[in-house]
Amino acid sequence: MKNALYVLLGVMAGFVLAGVLVFVSRAPAGQPILLQPAPTQPPVVVHVIGAVPRPGLYEFAEGARVQDAIDAAGGLLASASVDSINLAALLVDGEQLTIPYQEGAAPAEAPTEPELPNSGQNGNPQNDLININTATLEELDTLPGIGVTTAQRIIDYRTANGPFESIEEILNVSGVGPATFEEMKDLITI
């Protein structure tokens, strides 16, 4: 009788186990979760013109501000007037951001007649280059990567060592490294 009891218990345990397996295997499968990449916003494209060293088209992420566009265009020229500009305004795709010049400091007009070689001019068509030998603290501060402290170091360096003999010599100034020089080399002259 004991053996029959064990057999009966074994058969019942088998039925319970089979019932659990059937229940688990027949559970509704549902829909698989499909992972998709996060949606990306198209860039905001802005045309920056006026009193900046590098006017042109610039792309920004959604939420960029007017100050970001000015920084991308190389900062402000010394002759820029920002009194009428909201630097905190959000950029709008397709807008033209005009940085005005100070009153009486209109941009230099392109010459209507070609200059003759050896006419006494330096032959450089860009009139917005900053002369690192004569620039003021405010003018130097407009260069990309140069703040007030580094601008003062440039002035101190040229005071102690005389005028720069080449634009590359600015690398001798503490705070001006190769990356900073690459950003500003097309904006400076001696």
Q: Is residue 13 part of a domain?
A: no
Question: Of 99, 116, 139, which closes a domain?
Answer: 99
C-alpha dihedral (54, 56, 58, 64), degrees to nearest 10:
70
Q: Is residue 15 part of a domain?
A: no
Q: Is residue 119 part of a domain?
A: no
Question: Of 99, 116, 146, which closes a domain?
Answer: 99
3-class SS of residue 130: strand
Buried b (16+ CB within 10 A) or exposed e, 9-20: eeeeeeeeeeee
Question: What residues pair up with 96 in beta bridges, in sequence order?
Answer: 47
Q: Is residue 176 part of a domain?
A: yes
Burial label, 184 (beta-carbon count in 10 A; 0-12, 13-18, 19+):
buried
User: pTM for the full model?
Assistant: 0.40
Q: Is residue 16 part of a domain?
A: no
Q: Is residue 61 part of a domain?
A: yes
Q: How many domains does the chain have?
A: 2
- Residue 113 confidence (pLDDT): 38
Structure tokens at 139: 């003018």
pLDDT in tens, the chain (190 residues): 778 888 888 989 999 998 888 877 776 667 778 888 877 788 999 999 999 999 999 999 989 999 999 999 999 998 888 888 899 999 999 999 999 988 876 565 433 333 333 333 343 344 578 888 888 888 888 888 888 888 888 888 888 888 888 888 888 888 888 888 888 888 888 8
- Residue 118 confidence (pLDDT): 36
- Residue 106 confidence (pLDDT): 59
Q: Is residue 155 part of a domain?
A: yes
CATH code of the domain containing 184: 1.10.150.320
Indicate if 141 and 185 belong to the same structural domain. Answer: yes
Q: Is residue 39 part of a domain?
A: no
Indicate if 95 and 142 belong to the same structural domain. Answer: no
Structure tokens at 32: 């698989």
Alpha carbon 48 to its chain's center = 14
Indicate if 95 and 134 belong to the same structural domain. Answer: no
- Residue 115 confidence (pLDDT): 39
Residues 42 and 40: their CA atoms lie apart, in Å, by 6
Which residues constitute the domain of residue 180?
Answer: 130-189
